[in-house]
Every structure is written in structure tokens, then in C-alpha cells.
């Protein structure tokens, strides 16, 4: 092939700039339809190399007022809902007052959702189960909010927050809202602001709240204090049967669900369900007037998933008639008050200027074995008390 043939094929640009043109396959507005486009070079006032910075600063996101937050949440504006959740999750003292005003403004629209806590050992398929249940609920006219708690690193304090990736199908549903949050090392994997986040989602019109926890065993009492129905997800062949014989989390469960009951695992799952049913028979029910049972399901084939929702619906009807529902909600509100007081005192202690200045020296003495831990704690608490009295 000669140089002329190459030129005629459009592979080598013609020497005359006026004769240059885009290939036949490229439309005139290629820049708007394709990820890349052909630049004309120096004749188009661009050499393809020089970067010209923008003369104007990037526009800042509009600062929302308290009323903006309230109106956005109540109208189910997902962007403002996300910003409101970020506000209540903030540890900044500057955000605390605004967050509480927003919560107070939407409080009258909360409390109507079915709150379901889902826990289980890592690998039990919690995220997959939640996606299967959530997708089925959305398809049947419900609006579902998922509060997914990811474990935080004890070294870097970071968290992957990959629940939206694992729930790809559910995250695309317009009737679903998924909010991953880092556990931050909190007991039961529930973040300090999980209750406020739940209230915001209820005010936005989500009638089913699914709370996924890290799943760390007996500390799951924290979850029990904020949901109506508490579910333990287990699998076969992972030692769960032995762990189930210990009271622990089983005393808190309103239902035990044996997941991954599909393929060759169906018969094993049914046998495991029967074992758990026998265990539950000897335990005191978690909720007065309700008898907990074990069930099987498959998050892959969806077998048993609608039946699990039927169990939750039956539970809600039972506890509302017996009065257990109202009593549990009342106790949860009182528990919330105590939790907020504890959080405030803890924050107040560590933010006290005198305590902050003294902590490094006291910790150094303890580390060198020159001061007992109990004496160190007493000294810091005494200093904090004197400062408050002063």
C-alpha cells in the first residue's frame, strides 16, 4: 500500500488543513455522542496538549436551612434525605443543634413503619436476603429503606460501605433507599445515630425499615432496642447449630431463618430448621404472646421469602392486639433517652479542656506502670467533676 493509498483512506491527515475532516463513521457532533472525539489541532485554537484551567470557581452546594431539610425529607427528596442523614450522623457540635431541629420537625410523621432487625454470622447471606426480601416488597407496593451497617477497621477506622454494591438490583428500585453506615466499633454494629436515621426514613414515607447489623453475637441486644421484629439468619454446616444451643442471641430472636435452602442444601436446611425449632421450644419467647419458630428460605430462588414476610405481618398483628407492640415502642423511647444522655456525658467528658490536657500525661503514667488504671480513671473523673462544679 502506497502513501497515497493511506492518505486516501483517511489514515494519514492531508497536508492541507482545509481538507481535513472526520472519518465517515464519525458524526459531526461526535463530541456529544462519544466518550472521545477528534480534535482539529492548532487550526482550531487547541494543540491537544495544553490545559486551560477554568476561570471560575466550582459552584458550592447550596446550604440548606432547617426548613429545607424538613420539607425535603417529608417530600421524599432522596438527595435531601441523604444530606439530612449525614447531618445527624455528624459528630460536629455545630451540626448537632440543626440535626435535632430537623428531627423535631419531622417527628409527627414517624412511627408508622414496620422495623425489622436482621443479624447473623458473617457469610450467612444477610445482604443477599435483604435484597431478595426488599425487591419482593417493592414489587408489592411497599417502600423499603435499608440501613446497612458495615464493620469498621479497628486499625484505620475505615469502612468499605459496599452494601449498595452487593444489593445492586434493589438499589436501582425507585421505591428502595439504601443507606450504608460504618459501625465505628459500636456495640451490636449499630451506629450512634441509627435511631435518628430510622426516623428520617419513616418521615420520608418508607413503610418498611430493614436494619442489617454486623452480626457479632450476644451484643445484638442493641438491635432489639430499636426494632419491632428481630430475625436471626443462619446457614447449615458452619457451626451455627452448636452456637444456637447457647442462649445468647436466640433469646432475642422472633424468628430464625435458615438461609441458602437451595440445590443440594435443601434437605440439610430442613434438618437444621427442625433442630432450631427444638431449641426454641425450651427458651422463653422474645416477645410476649408470640412463639418464635425457625424457617427456611433461599435468597437466590426466592423460595420462602414471601412466607417470611407473612410471618412478620402475622407478628405485627399479634403484638398490636396484645399490647406488646405499644409497650415495646415505649420502652425503646426510654432506652433512646438513656442512650442520648450517655452519649452526651461521654462527649462532654472527652471535650472538657482540662481533661483533654491531662489525659496524655495520665495515660503515659499508666503505660509505664507508675499509676493504676483505676486511680487514673478516678483522677480524670474527679478533675471533670471539679471543672463542672466550678
DSSP 188: G
Judgement on whether residues 100 and 132 belong to the same structural domain of the protein? no
22 part of a folded domain: yes
Q: Which pairs with CB-CB distance under 8 Å and at least 24 residues apart come from 47-52?
A: none
200 part of a folded domain: yes
Among 148-157, 174-183, 229-238, which stretch is predicted with the lowest mean pLDDT? Answer: 148-157
3 part of a folded domain: no
208 part of a folded domain: yes
Highest mean pLDDT out of 136-145, 191-200, 266-275: 136-145
CATH (domain of 228):
3.40.50.300
Judgement on whether residues 161 and 305 belong to the same structural domain of the protein? yes
5 part of a folded domain: no
Domain range for 31:
14-49
Q: 267 is written with which cell numbers?
A: 434437605
CATH (domain of 78):
1.20.5.170
Model pTM score: 0.76
Judgement on whether residues 282 and 377 belong to the same structural domain of the protein? no
Give the model's pLDDT for residue 32.
45
For residue 149, report the phi and psi dihedrals to the nearest 5 degrees. -100, 120
Instruction: Please count the structural domains in the chain.
Output: 4
Which is it for strands 293-296 and 144-150: parallel, antiparallel or unpaired? unpaired
Residue 349 has pLDDT above 90, yes or no: yes
Judgement on whether residues 191 and 164 belong to the same structural domain of the protein? yes
What is the average pLDDT value for the chain, to the nearest integer?
Answer: 80
344 part of a folded domain: no
Residue 244 has pLDDT above 90, yes or no: no
Q: Cα(first)–Cα(last) distance of the chain, in Å?
A: 94
Judgement on whether residues 120 and 105 belong to the same structural domain of the protein? no
Judgement on whether residues 278 and 322 belong to the same structural domain of the protein? yes
Judgement on whether residues 375 and 253 belong to the same structural domain of the protein? no
Judgement on whether residues 137 and 279 belong to the same structural domain of the protein? yes
382 part of a folded domain: yes
Distance between CA atoms of residues 388 and 296, nearest Å: 56
Closest by CA position to 253, among listed 129, 126, 118, 148: 118
Judgement on whether residues 356 and 217 belong to the same structural domain of the protein? no
Give the model's pLDDT for residue 390.
62
Judgement on whether residues 121 and 235 belong to the same structural domain of the protein? yes
| For the chain, percent of residues with pLDDT exceeding 90 | 49
Average pLDDT over residues 292-306: 95
The residue among 342 and 151 whose pLDDT is bigger is 342
Residue 323 has pLDDT above 80, yes or no: yes
Taking a C-beta distance cutoff of 8 angstroms, is the pair 279, 247 a contact?
A: no
Give the model's pLDDT for residue 321.
95
Give the model's pLDDT for residue 215.
58
DSSP-assigned beta bridge partners for residue 230: 117
Residue 236 banded pLDDT, cuts 50, 70, 90 = confident
Residue 33 has pLDDT above 90, yes or no: no
Judgement on whether residues 70 and 82 belong to the same structural domain of the protein? yes
Judgement on whether residues 191 and 68 belong to the same structural domain of the protein? no
Coil, helix or strand for 255? strand
340 part of a folded domain: no
Provide the CA 341 distance to its chain's centre, in angstroms. Answer: 24
Amino acid at each position: 500500500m502506497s502513501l497515497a493509498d493511506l492518505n486516501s483512506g483517511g489514515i494519514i491527515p492531508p497536508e492541507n488543513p482545509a481538507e481535513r475532516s472526520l472519518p465517515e463513521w464519525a458524526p459531526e457532533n461526535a463530541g456529544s455522542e462519544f466518550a472521545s472525539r477528534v480534535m482539529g489541532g492548532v487550526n482550531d485554537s487547541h494543540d491537544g496538549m495544553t490545559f486551560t484551567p477554568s476561570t471560575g470557581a466550582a459552584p458550592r452546594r447550596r446550604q440548606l436551612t432547617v426548613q429545607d431539610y424538613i420539607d425535603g425529607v417529608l417530600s421524599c427528596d432522596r438527595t435531601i434525605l441523604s444530606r439530612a442523614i449525614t447531618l445527624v450522623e455528624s459528630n460536629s457540635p455545630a451540626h448537632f443543634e440543626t440535626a435535632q431541629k430537623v428531627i423535631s420537625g419531622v417527628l409527627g410523621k414517624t412511627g408508622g413503619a414496620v422495623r425489622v432487625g436482621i443479624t447473623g454470622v458473617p457469610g450467612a447471606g444477610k445482604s443477599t436476603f435483604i435484597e431478595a426480601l426488599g425487591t419482593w416488597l417493592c414489587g408489592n407496593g411497599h417502600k423499603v429503606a435499608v440501613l446497612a451497617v458495615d464493620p469498621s477497621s479497628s486499625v484505620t477506622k475505615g469502612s468499605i460501605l459496599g452494601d449498595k454494591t452487593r444489593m445492586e438490583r434493589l438499589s436501582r428500585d425507585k421505591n428502595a433507599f439504601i443507606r450504608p453506615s460504618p459501625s465505628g466499633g459500636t456495640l451490636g454494629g449499630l451506629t450512634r445515630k441509627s435511631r435518628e436515621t430510622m426516623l428520617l426514613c419513616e418521615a420520608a414515607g418508607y413503610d418498611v425499615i430493614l436494619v442489617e447489623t454486623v452480626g457479632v453475637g450476644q451484643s445484638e441486644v442493641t438491635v432489639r432496642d430499636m426494632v419491632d421484629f428481630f430475625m436471626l439468619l443462619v446457614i447449615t454446616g458452619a457451626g451455627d447449630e452448636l452456637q444456637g444451643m447457647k442462649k445468647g442471641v436466640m433469646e432475642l430472636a422472633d424468628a430464625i431463618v435458615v438461609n441458602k435452602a437451595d440445590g443440594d442444601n435443601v434437605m440439610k436446611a430442613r434438618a437444621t430448621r427442625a433442630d432450631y425449632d427444638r431449641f426454641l421450644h425450651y427458651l422463653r419467647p422474645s416477645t410476649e404472646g408470640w412463639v418464635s419458630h425457625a424457617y427456611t428460605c433461599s435468597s437466590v430462588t426466592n423460595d420462602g421469602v414471601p412466607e417470611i414476610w407473612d410471618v412478620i405481618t402475622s407478628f405485627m398483628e399479634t403484638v398490636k392486639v396484645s399490647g406488646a407492640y405499644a409497650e415495646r415502642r415505649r420502652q425503646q423511647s426510654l432506652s433512646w433517652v438513656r442512650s442520648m444522655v450517655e452519649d452526651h456525658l461521654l462527649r462532654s467528658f472527652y471535650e472538657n479542656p482540662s481533661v483533654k490536657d491531662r489525659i496524655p500525661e495520665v495515660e503515659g503514667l499508666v503505660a509505664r506502670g507508675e499509676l493504676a488504671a483505676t486511680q487514673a480513671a478516678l483522677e480524670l473523673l474527679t478533675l471533670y467533676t471539679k471543672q463542672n462544679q466550678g
